[in-house]
Structures are given as structure tokens and as C-alpha cells.
Structure 1
Amino acid sequence: MDMNAYLSMFIDESNDHLQALNENLLRLESDPEDVSIVQIIFRSAHTLKGMSATMGFEDLAALTHEMENVLDLVRNNKLKMDSFIFDTLFKSLDALENMVQDVIAGGSGKADVTHIVTALKSIVSGDYKNQASAPVAAAAAVEVSGETPQVSDAASEAASLLDEFQTSVLMQSMDSGLSVYHVVVHVSEGCILKAARAYMVFDFLERTGEIVKSHPSVQDIEQEKFDRSFTVFMISSASAEDIHKGIVSVSEIESADVTQMDRETLAQLGRRAEQAAEQPAAPPAAAAVVNAAPVAAVPAKQEPAKEEKARPASNGPVARTIRVDIERLDALMNLFSELLIDRVRLEQLATEIRRSDLTETVEHMARVSGDLQNIVLKLRMVPVESVFNRFPRMVRDIAKSLDKKIDLVITGAETELDRTVIDEIGDPLVHLLRNSCDHGIESIAARVAAGKPEQGTVHLRAFHSGNNVFIEIEDDGNGINREKVKQIAIKNGVVTPEEAKRLTDNEINMLIFAPGFSTADKISDLSGRGVGLDVVKSKIASLGGHVSVTSQEGKGSIFSIQLPLTLSIISAMLIKLGTEKYAIPLSSIVETGIIRKEQIRSVHKSFMMEFRGSVIPVLSLSKVLDCPSFSEAGEAETEIVVIRKGEKLGAILVDEFIGQSDIVLKSLGNYLTNIDAISGATILGDGQVALIIDPNALIK
């Protein structure tokens, strides 16, 4: 089978699982006692392992397998999470992510993760804290045991299958009042689905106790690589009779031999295991099997249930999602944009001709195309959550490396952005968050000295405003030291001393975006090299947005990124200024109305008006756009449009309203960039071009 056909699916799903693992591991770190989170983590790791093994990425599968061993102990309450285990699991996730990135780059996905595997194995064995516990050893023995020939006698079979560690586990379980059973299950001769019957037996035994060892291996049993019987060693508080009764109740199970083992037999097995361990090397073939076990073996405890339960699901509902090439969506959007222009033209013609059958047809087409428009728009939109979700892990690692306490608060993660913008926005946000954690949030001692709580807070928020999305990163750190910024800017030749004296606070703040600029006193892994915020500014500009910063020394800073939705179609209010037509995005409009001129008052050379109990600024759109064909002089009343940006309101004066319409957003091209107050243009139904107003530029 050609696996290349499934490679893109593997990459997408692997990234999804790695993201889920990171998120849930962070949740678990804040609540280590919540076993339900461990179950979710285990399932993601298990699925990732199976996918990797299927695709032939053995290193990925092997490392995930070792993670499973640790997680299995935790979910069965045999191991308590601590900082070493969390750090090791996070390092494992980083290694897995690097392997997947290697696969994306066309590599084999191989990596040297010996040190991580050694750490994971030491956690399983208990050696990492020099106090191995019996329950901890149990699953380790299960996971890495090799296969051996099947024998008939229960005691001798146990001696050959169980190693010294496993025997000691069984002994200590017996000391704690549990019973140890050796179970041999015989399947009926005419059984067709042996693996399915074996799964049903394993499912019952799992609910009754804990399986320590199975022979043949679970993988072989799943693939029906056994004759008519298989052997299980288990620990349980149930009686031998109950276990026997439960096994034989499974259809097509011929018989079950359940033998309770005593201390003397186990002690004898332990001595035999010791002797076996002291003997020289095993024959080459056996050694090969044992060495392969960590990669190939499947956990005896949970695998049958997991794998077999997955099989019936294939008969259930088919996957409800498909992956579509972004270029196809672009083509669809462009075609629909042309259709929309023709629809508006048809509506105008129908109004002029006034034939009832034409009007009805056009109205029906408008309804259908409206529904189609909603679907087309939503196809390209992706919640920023897909980008935001990877930052809690990053902030956690940064805080640990800087020995700071930082809480990342995310709001507005459901805010949707165009897929092309989502793909590009990740790196700028990484730089800004690192900047806030490193330069913004102070050390614990400095925060306490300043009368602040030990834990700093970084807010990451997103919200819509008009046909733009704003992403803000706010910290409650020490803010920008403007005097220091000025001195560094002068030293680096960014500004002259004379220019520095004339700079406003906002202009000084923006100096930190200059290439090569850094306020770090020493170079570290996080900062000091002067690479970061200049990259942010250029990347945001390339996306058609811009970044700004406000800061209060000692209180904190807010970095604000304004990004276009890059939607092709928006709802807008069409207005006139003399002979010119303009469009204002409907999502920015709070209200429209008519007011008398005397209601507008001059306050400190700015025009203001009362609006629903508050005072808001007033702008003349004709003056902003320098419209020669319209004059406000002589009019007693004027139309207004109240617009919003975040929590800020403002009113703009217009000539007259044309009406609401869906318009196609067109770029002004490379020659007309950064035109103040204009975000693009649209072609109206009659072929005229109308400029689109950017309300966010009018409210500052």
C-alpha cells in the first residue's frame, strides 16, 4: 500500500493530537489529581502511536509507547505526577513535534531520543527517585516483556514468562491482600473470530482486576496469531469461581483453567527468574525478540480494549469532515464575488423594469445566493483558537526558564479569521508574548518589592471590529522605560538627539519596533539579539494590518494588532457625499440617524455630541476625505452614522443614505497602499466604483 497517499492526513492529525496532548498536559499540571484528564491524554498518545506505527515511523511510535507506559501507571493510580514527570513528558512532546516537523520536511521522522526514553523508563521503574514501588513496576514489566515459547505446566510456564520484577510485583500484591491467578483460556475449535472472543475475555478480566502478563503477546492475539488458547497472569480481589464463570460466559469459549497461585510457588518462580537473569546471553533469536519488544510490544492491560473497540466503529457513521485545498476555496470565493456583482445588477434592473415574474425570480435568486454567501464565507474562516492554543505551553516553559510566575489569560479565542491570516499570525504573536514574559513581567522579587502579586498576568485577547480583527497582548509588568528606549535609540543611530527631544510618548514606544533594537542587558535564549519586534511589524504589515503599543511605566503594556478579515464579501451601508458614493462596513455601525446642527458642540477645538447618555466625538467625512462636490454649509440638519471600535464610539457626518448592500471587497493594489481611512473598494451593480471606509482609522 502506498503510504504517501495518507501522509498529509497523518501530518494533520498528528499535529492535532500533539496540540491536544500539550493542552491537556497543561490542564493536568494545574490539577494533578484529575484522572479523567490522564485518560484523555492516554487516548491521544495511543492514537498517535498507532498512526505512527501504521505509517512506518518507528521512532515516533516507540517514544509514544514509552509515554503510554508512564501514563498508564498514572491513570491506574499507581504513580503520582510530580515536576520531573511533567518536565519529561513535555520534553517527549517536543521531541515528537520535532519528528513530525522532520516528516513534513520530507525526512524519515527519526531522532535520537535515548535520553528521553531512559528518563521515561526510570519513571516507570521508580529509579528516578530511588524508591521503586511494586505497583509502578507492574506495568513496566508488562510493557517491555518479550515473547517466549508456550508450555503446558502452569508453574514452569510462569517461570519462563515472568521475570524477577514481575514476580516481585505479584508477591507484593499478594501481601496487600489481593489474589494472583494464572488463567489459561481455550477457544472453541470452530470459532471464526478468535480475536473478537479474546477481546471479550480481556474486557471482562480488565473489569475484574489487572492483567500483568499475557502470552502470546496482545499484538499476536489481536492478529489471531495463536492456536486455540492463550495465557494470562492477573491480580484481582475476585474469587477464582467468579473469574471462571465470567470467562466461560463468553460465547465460543470452550473452557478456562483458573489457578490461584500461593506464596511458595511465587517464591520458587522468583528464584528461577533470578537464575535465568544471571545466565549468559540468550540465543540470538530470543535476544532479537526481546530487543524489539519496546517498539513492537503492545501494553497487555489496555490494548485489547482500545484496539478491538475501535473496529466496530468502522461500521458507524463516516467522518463528517474533509480537507480542501485553500486554492479551491480562493477560486470559489472569486467566482461567487462575480456572481454577487451580477445579482446586485439584476436587482436594479428588476426594479426599473417592474415585471412581477422577473422580480419574483430575482428575489428567489437573492435568497438562495444569500444562503450560499454565508456558507462560502464560513468555509475560509477559522477560529484564532487554533493559534492561541499553543501559547499556554510556551508561556509555561518561558516562566519556568526565567523563574517567574506568569498566568496567561485567553479571551475571544472563538473569534474567526481568514485561514491565510491564521497561517501567518503565529510567529508575530510568539515574539510579542515572549517580549511580554521576558521584558514586561518582572521577577518575583521585583514584583513583591513593587507591591504587586508574585504571579504576573498576560492577557491574550481577540475581538472583531468592522471588517478587522484586533488581537491584544496586555501584561501587568513594568511597562516601557521610555528614557532608556530613547538612549538606546540614539546610541544605535535610530534617531538623533534632536529628533528624540521632539518625540511623543507613542512615537517613543514605537521605537522598540526598529530593526536590531533591544533593551535587554544581556543576550539570552529569549532576547538580546535585536531580532523580534521588527519582524512582528513587517509581518503584520505584509498581512495588510498594523501594530501599535501603549504603555504606562510600572503598570504594564498593551500591544495591539489590527488585521483585516480579508473577506471578499461584506455587508455595508452605502452613503453619498455629493456625487461620490462610499461604503461603511455594517459590522462597525451602531446606529444611523439625523441630528440638528446645534446639537454638535465644540469642546477644546473638537466637535462632540450627546449620544444615549454619553458624549462622543463627531467627524465630518467630507473633510476627512476632502470631498469637493459636497459642502455642509447652510444645512440645518445632517445625517450621522455612529460607529464603534471595541468600546469606543464616534459619529461621522454624511450627505445621504443609499441603503444596505452586500459588497465585494477589492484591494486597491500595490500602488495605493496605506491610504488613511480607506480599506478598499467595491464595484456596485451599476458598474460604479465605491471606496470602502475604514471606521477603525477614524476612531483613535
Structure 2
Amino acid sequence: MDMNAYLSMFIDESNDHLQTLNENLLRLEGEPEDLSIVQNIFRSAHTLKGMSATMGYEDLAALTHEMENVLDLVRNSKLKMDSFIFDTLFKGLDALEAMVQDIVNGGTGKADVTSIVTALQSIFNGEHKKSEPDQKAAAASDSSNADKPILLLDEYQTSVLKQSIDSGHQAYHIHVTIREDCLLKAVRAYMVFNLLEAHGEIVKSEPSVQDLEQEKFDRSFTVFTITQTKLEDLHTQIMNVSEVESAVVTLLDEESLHLLSTPTANQQAEAEVKKAKEEIAAAIAVVEKKEEEVTKAPAAVAPRKEAPAQAAPAAVNRTIRVDIDRLDTLMNLFSELLIDRVRLEQLSSEIKRNDLTETVEHMTRVSTDLQNIVLKLRMVPVDSVFNRFPRMIRDLAKSLDKKIDLVITGADTELDRTVIDEIGDPLVHLLRNSVDHGIETVEERIAAGKSEVGTIFLRAYHSGNHVFIEVEEDGRGINQERVLKTAIKNGVVTEDEAKKLSSDEINMLIFAAGFSTAEKISDISGRGVGLDVVRSKITSLGGNVTIDSAFGRGTKFSVQLPLTLSIISAMLIKLGSEKYAIPLSSIVETSIIRRSQILNVHGNLMIEFRNTVIPLVSLSRVLETPDFNDSAEEETEIVVVRKGEKWAAVTVDEFIGQNEIVLKTLGKYLTNIEAISGATILGDGQVALIIDPNALIK
């Protein structure tokens, strides 16, 4: 069977299970007594192990198996969760995620997880809480009790040993312990097995041969073997194997075999449960048969009626996984269709034939519905980004010795997949800064009269054609005096400029390139380190970020993003002989101004707008359009655009009208002109450049 055909499905489902494990493990950390959560974790781990083994990723399956062993003890109330167990399981999850990512990148999914496996095995063996003297005492106790047979044999194994005894052979139970300082336990176990196989036949071992080869055992292993060699000779030969600490060889007889094959209380209980389930299933079958007979009886005598409408089937999962590349291809094809539709609309208006006009109008309605469906197919809940943050906050809080709650709301808010792919890293920066420099230590919070547990709110919600994502914490807030001193020191602003800045403008200084108030750089964040990258990324997505902060009470970052980056509504404008498009989401208003309304403030052109003064930007000068000079016009059309709380008026030659346009990237072209964000093809086949209003507002 070609497993490569199932690789994509395996990766998708593995990521789903790993996310489920992360979420449920975080829940369990808050509710360690809730065994129902443990059952969910165990089920996901068991499924992941089976999938990995089927696909041939043995390392992945082996690590999951070790985690499963620990979880099995917890769900059966034989082990209580503590911080060491949680940390070890989380490290195991990190390793599993790294293995899956390696597979995604074309690797084999192999990794060195020896330390994690050792920790898991110590938990499983109950040794992780023992002190060094306790461990030595336990080892001594195990050695002294090693002559007591503890393994159970199945019917076949018991039969083989019994027949061997009856035919005059010796059957032995052998318990071997390797020295604690042995570096190659698997090799020593292999040498003992070779020795035993040279003198007879091995019937059973615990752990299994495979586990012994992979060193999945502590120091001891047990073997049942059949041989002609005398007990003393066999013991001597085993002890001659290098680094064997002890070997307890016990001769078996029919009575001891009978004891070893007798089911334990647990096995009896399992058998009783199995029998009870079979009896319940049989009873249910009888009841269902009776119900069927009762139902048929009235139906046989009842007058025939018109058959009622068939009842709706039970709700089932009617979703399928679709490759992202196929959705991108679908969007590209629809984009071409949209361009042709606009072209047909233009031709129809020129030809003016009723039948053509009606056909084009119908095509417009159908393509609009199709457009909505295609766009919805690309919409993804922000939960796909948010769901990795609880684990991140938990680890950061623990490393900084802080207590933090992460409260997520609006995780079902949908965004275009293109935006989703890009927004993750900026949010990571904002959250890490909130944890490191926003939330205080427990001592600082108590001294400030706050709860010792800090809270970070992560919200998402729709507003018009935008999605807002907010990161808010109830921590220190921004120290504006300190921010100003640092900004002046680093040359971000001059002392004179600093005096004129508003409170909001001071807060926004932390987004300046390389700005940081951190006295020392940590591996987590410094307030401002990386935040210039955050703003650049969000701006490149057609969004913006603002800050609202109160010193001593906390800070809120608000990120505004467009719903989609593929098809947008735009205002088409003209500059001389060239056509351009400005996204409607950035436009506040369109108007006409006279030359007398233009003010000159400190050498900058400004106009009055809604009881304030905003800058006037000449688009023809920015784009160096040779055939249009707005300064020569008595009246000039303007488009008022916004970037966060900042506004600007942009002069244009002529308004063409609103239209839906398809965004096309320019690749390496026009990279030196920052006011251009892309291009689109118009209905007449012309290419119109798309203006980036954010680049026009300084």
C-alpha cells in the first residue's frame, strides 16, 4: 500500500489531535481531578499512536506510547497529576509537534527524545518523586523480591512450558538486573538473550524484545525460558555477562505454572465486565426486536395513507477537507471571471441591446452570488490562530514566575485565509510583550492592591468590512515619561517635537524601529522590541494598530484588519491619462475644494475638515504624473483617507466610480514606490495601480 497517498490526511489529523491534546492538557491543569478530561486526552493520544504506527513513523508512535502509559495510570486513579508530570507531558507534546513538522517538511519524523522518554518512564515507574536514597532502597527491595514470579502466562505459553517439563526439560523464570551505571543497557540485554537462546528457547519476556532493543526499560527484565542447562550453570553464565548486577533464576514446576496462569482480580473484573456488556447487548437486541414487532402490527391493520415526507436523517458531519492550493486556484479563476464580467458590462453599456443587457445583468447576479460563496470558502475562524496562545501564555508565565489568565472571546470570528496566515506572528509579539512587560509579578500586583493573577484579554469581532483583534492586559500600563526620555535619547523625536506630542502619539512611539525601554534584553521581549515589525506587517495587510494605555491600570492594543485581501471594493480615480484604485475601506469622504481653502502651515499644505486641520497630499507629485498638475486647478477633487486616528486629503484629477476589483501583486516591480500596493485589470483591459493610503499618511 502506498502510504504517501494518505500523508496529507495524516498530517491534518495529527495536527488536530495535537491541538486537542494541548487544549485538554491545559484544561486538566486547571481541573486535575476531572477524569473525563483525562479520558479525552488518552483517546487522542491513543488515536495518534495508531495513526503514526500505521504510517511507519515509529519514533512518533513510541513517544506517544510512553505518554499513553502515564495517562493510563491517571485515568485509572493510580497516579495523581503534579507539576512535573504536566511539564513532562507538555515537553512530549512539543516534541510530537516538532516531529510532525519535520514530516511536513519532507523529513522522517525522527528526533532525539531520550530525556523525555526517561522522564515519562520514571513517572510510570513511580520514581519521579523518590529521593536518591529511596530509589536505592527500592532497587534493593526489587532485587530481594525478584525470585517471586509476577508475570502471567497465556494459555499457549503455559501449555508450552508444561509440555517441556513433562518431557524432562527445565523451565526457568529469570529476573536480570543491569548495573545502574551501564551506558548500553540494550546491548547487555541482547547478550543475555543470545546466551539463553544458545542453551534453549525463550517463551516470553517482559518488556518485549522490541522494547528491550529500544532501551524502553529501566534496569530489569524478566524471561521465561526452556533449557537442558542446570540452574547453577545458567546463573553463572548470565552473571559472567559484563555489567549484569544480579540474576535470580527460579525453577518452575506444574504448581507454579498453575499459579502463573490463574487470572488476577483485575482480569476477573474485566471478564465480568465483558460478560455483563454481552448480556446487556443481548437484552437490547431482544427489546429492539419486540419494538419492531409492535410497530409492524398496527401498520398491518391501519388504513393506507399517503406516505409522509421522509424524516430528515440524523445530523452527520458533512464537511470535507480541501487542499488550500485548490481554493487559491478557484479564487484565481473567479478573479478572471470577474474581470470579464466588468468588461461585458462596459460593452453592454456601449452597444445598448436589450437582450445583451438582460444577459449581462443575469450574469452579474449569478457571479455576485458565486463571489460570496468563493469568499466564504476562504474564510477561516481566527480560532485557528488563537488556539496556540493558551499554551504559549502558560509557558511564558511559568518561566517568569507570574500568574496569568488568558481570556479569549470571539474565536469564531472569520477572516480570509491570506490574512490568517500573516497575522499569527504580530499577535505573538503583542502577547509576549503583554506577558513580559505588561503584567507585573505577583509581589508587585499585591503591593499595588491588585489580584495576584494578571489577566490578558484576547478578543476578535467584526465591524463593517473589518475585523478587530484586541490584546488587553490589566498590568503596568505604559510609562509615558520613560517612553519620551528613551525616544529623545535614541533620536526618534527631538525635545521640541516631544513637547507637542499628544498622549496617544507618545504611546505610538513604542512602534518606532528599534525602540525599547527595556534595561536588559530578554529572550521573551522588551517593550517595543519587534513592535515596529508588528506595525509593518499589519500595515502591509491593509490594516492598522492603535494603543490605549493608562499607567498603572493596563494597556490595550487594537488591530484593525480587512476581511479579505483578494477581492475588494475600490474607488477608481483618474490622474491625467492614468487610472488608479483606492480601497473603499480607507476612504472617509470624497469632496471638491477651492484653491482658496488650502492653508500653508509651516510650509505644509493643509485644509480644514470636520473642525480640524488635516494635511493635503498631492497624489500627482507622489506618483510623478507628468500630464496632471493639481496646483494649476482652481477646483480640485479630493479623497479623504484615514490611517487609524490620522486623516489626510489626497488630490485627484477625476472620479470614475466605485467598482469591485481583483488584487494582483506586482512582485518585484515598482518596489521603490511605497504608495503602490498592487494592481488590478479593469473591464477595458487596462491595468490600474492600487494606491496604498497608509503610505500617504505620515
State TM-score, norm by structure 2: 0.61
The answer as to 2:483 corresponding to 1:449 is no
**Structure with the greater relative contact order (CA < 8 A, sep ≥ 6): 1 or 2?**
1
Could you say which structure has the larger radius of gyration? Answer: 2
Structure 1 residue 474, shift from structure 2 partner: 2.3
Q: Give percent identity, aligned residues only.
A: 67
C-alpha separation in 2, matches of 1:389 and 1:694: 32
C-alpha separation in 2, matches of 1:342 and 1:244: 66
**More deviation in 381-390 or 532-541?**
532-541
Matched residue of 1:457: which SS?
strand
Q: 1:577 to 1:427 in 2, by over 3 A?
A: closer
Q: What does residue range 114-125 of structure 1 map to in structure 2 within 5 Å?
A: 114-125=114-125
Do 1:485 and 1:519's aligned partners in 2 also have CA atoms closer than 8 Å? yes
Deviations 1:423-453 (A, max 9, x none): 3332332222111100111112212222322
Do 1:619 and 1:653's aligned partners in 2 also have CA atoms closer than 8 Å? no
Structure 1 residue 355, shift from structure 2 partner: 3.0
Equivalent residue, structure 2, for 1:312: none
C-alpha separation in 2, matches of 1:38 and 1:617: 60
Matched residue of 2:440: which SS?
coil
Do 2:545 and 2:644's aligned partners in 1 also have CA atoms closer than 8 Å? no
Structure 1 residue 521, shift from structure 2 partner: 3.4
Structure 1 residue 407, shift from structure 2 partner: 1.9
Structure 1 residue 526, shift from structure 2 partner: 2.0
Q: Partner letter of residue 156 of structure 2?
A: Q
Structure 1 residue 413, shift from structure 2 partner: 2.7
Matched residue of 1:520: which SS?
coil
**More deviation in 556-565 or 494-503?**
494-503
Equivalent residue, structure 1, for 2:431: 433
Deviations 1:306-331 (A, max 9, x none): xxxxxxxxxx99984244253x5444
Equivalent residue, structure 1, for 2:269: 235
C-alpha separation in 1, matches of 2:539 and 2:585: 23
C-alpha separation in 1, matches of 2:666 and 2:111: 48
Equivalent residue, structure 2, for 1:386: 384
Do 2:630 and 2:651's aligned partners in 1 also have CA atoms closer than 8 Å? no
Equivalent residue, structure 2, for 1:336: 334
Q: Partner letter of residue 98 of structure 1?
A: A
Do 2:661 and 2:680's aligned partners in 1 also have CA atoms closer than 8 Å? yes
C-alpha separation in 1, matches of 2:460 and 2:274: 61
Equivalent residue, structure 2, for 1:553: 551
C-alpha separation in 2, matches of 1:43 and 1:233: 22
C-alpha separation in 2, matches of 1:412 and 1:485: 32
Equivalent residue, structure 1, for 2:59: 59
Do 1:432 and 1:533's aligned partners in 2 also have CA atoms closer than 8 Å? yes
Q: 1:537 to 1:698 in 2, by over 3 A?
A: closer
Equivalent residue, structure 2, for 1:471: 469
Equivalent residue, structure 2, for 1:410: 408
C-alpha separation in 1, matches of 2:356 and 2:337: 17
Do 1:382 and 1:419's aligned partners in 2 also have CA atoms closer than 8 Å? yes
**More deviation in 502-511 or 39-48?**
502-511
Q: What does residue range 303-382 of structure 1 map to in structure 2 within 5 Å?
A: 320-326=319-325, 328-382=326-380
Do 1:466 and 1:696's aligned partners in 2 also have CA atoms closer than 8 Å? no
Q: 1:674 to 1:412 in 2, by over 3 A?
A: farther
Deviations 1:447-492 (A, max 9, x none): 222232222222223345666554332222212233434444566x
Equivalent residue, structure 2, for 1:569: 567
Do 2:642 and 2:648's aligned partners in 1 also have CA atoms closer than 8 Å? yes
The answer as to 2:37 corresponding to 1:37 is yes
Root-mean-square deviation (Å): 5.5
C-alpha separation in 2, matches of 1:37 and 1:660: 54
Deviations 1:18-77 (A, max 9, x none): 122111222232333444433332222122111111122222112212222333344445
Equivalent residue, structure 1, for 2:156: 150
C-alpha separation in 1, matches of 2:530 and 2:95: 25
Deviations 1:145-166 (A, max 9, x none): 8976625689999xx9x999xx
Q: 1:467 to 1:624 in 2, by over 3 A?
A: farther
Q: 1:5 to 1:250 in 2, by over 3 A?
A: same
Structure 1 residue 130, shift from structure 2 partner: 6.0
C-alpha separation in 1, matches of 2:619 and 2:273: 87
C-alpha separation in 2, matches of 1:244 and 1:683: 69
C-alpha separation in 1, matches of 2:493 and 2:615: 37
Matched residue of 2:64: which SS?
helix
Do 2:619 and 2:650's aligned partners in 1 also have CA atoms closer than 8 Å? no
Q: 1:471 to 1:7 in 2, by over 3 A?
A: same
Equivalent residue, structure 2, for 1:671: 670
Q: Partner letter of residue 321 of structure 1?
A: I
Q: 1:237 to 1:13 in 2, by over 3 A?
A: closer
C-alpha separation in 2, matches of 1:674 and 1:681: 13
Q: Partner letter of residue 150 of structure 1?
A: Y
Structure 1 residue 696, shift from structure 2 partner: 8.1
C-alpha separation in 2, matches of 1:411 and 1:628: 50
Q: Partner letter of residue 91 of structure 1?
A: K
Equivalent residue, structure 2, for 1:395: 393
Matched residue of 1:150: which SS?
helix
C-alpha separation in 2, matches of 1:7 and 1:438: 39
**Number of paired residues?**
537
Q: Which blocks of at least 5 consecutive residues in structure 2 are unaligned?
A: 135-149, 164-170, 176-261, 286-314, 592-605, 622-627
Equivalent residue, structure 1, for 2:302: none
Deviations 1:74-124 (A, max 9, x none): 444554444333222212211212222333344433333344334334444
Q: Which blocks of at least 5 consecutive residues in structure 1 are unaligned?
A: 133-143, 165-229, 252-315, 595-604, 610-615
Do 1:577 and 1:622's aligned partners in 2 also have CA atoms closer than 8 Å? no
C-alpha separation in 1, matches of 2:277 and 2:338: 70
Do 1:622 and 1:654's aligned partners in 2 also have CA atoms closer than 8 Å? no
C-alpha separation in 1, matches of 2:590 and 2:429: 44
C-alpha separation in 1, matches of 2:77 and 2:493: 65
Q: 1:241 to 1:394 in 2, by over 3 A?
A: closer
Deviations 1:645-676 (A, max 9, x none): 99999999999998764332355775377867
Q: What does residue range 92-241 of structure 1 map to in structure 2 within 5 Å?
A: 92-129=92-129, 150-151=156-157, 233-235=267-269
Deviations 1:233-254 (A, max 9, x none): 2326969996896799999xxx
Structure 1 residue 392, shift from structure 2 partner: 0.8
Q: 1:380 to 1:111 in 2, by over 3 A?
A: same
Q: Partner letter of residue 558 of structure 1?
A: K
Structure 1 residue 589, shift from structure 2 partner: 8.7
Deviations 1:476-517 (A, max 9, x none): 2212233434444566x5548657756735565455445655
C-alpha separation in 1, matches of 2:93 and 2:319: 28
Equivalent residue, structure 1, for 2:7: 7
Q: 1:240 to 1:329 in 2, by over 3 A?
A: closer
Matched residue of 2:103: which SS?
helix
